[in-house]
Amino acid sequence: MPKLFLAALLLTIDLLGISGCAQAPGANYARQSGVVSLAPGETQQVWTGVAYRPLRVCNDLESSGTALVVIDERPPAALGPGICTEDYGSTIHMSNNSASAATIVYRTIFEPTFLGG
């Protein structure tokens, strides 16, 4: 019986998490990873969540355009196809000022936590 209770509890927690995500104001709200396609001249911003953590942002190797990426008000990084940048933050501002489309891939970088001494 305890296993059934635990399974039901975990299912309830998962469903509550899904319903909370469904109420988010946009597709790029508090996502820890994702892909953003930017048309020429387009700008987007994503928020990866409340936690301030290391982020890795790349312009996909098959992109045609160069994108300008800013992580949390840091100096901008111009990312050509296949180029990445990493920094700490929770907000990524992306703009495509080139004449071709750019596909930006981003994710949080989880650092291992060691317990004990």
Question: What's the pLDDT score for residue 33?
Answer: 87
Q: What is the pTM of this model?
A: 0.69
Question: What's the pLDDT score for residue 114?
Answer: 62
Topology given in CATH for the domain delimited by 27-108: Jelly Rolls (2.60.120)
Question: What's the pLDDT score for residue 49?
Answer: 85
- Beta strands 67-71; 53-59: pairing state: unpaired
Q: What is the edge-to-edge ordering of all strands in the sheet holding 77-79?
A: 43-47, 91-96, 67-71, 77-79
Residues lower than pLDDT 50 in the chain: 6, 9-11, 15-26
Question: What's the pLDDT score for residue 22?
Answer: 38
Question: What's the pLDDT score for residue 16?
Answer: 44
Question: What's the pLDDT score for residue 42?
Answer: 97
Domain boundaries, the chain: 27-108
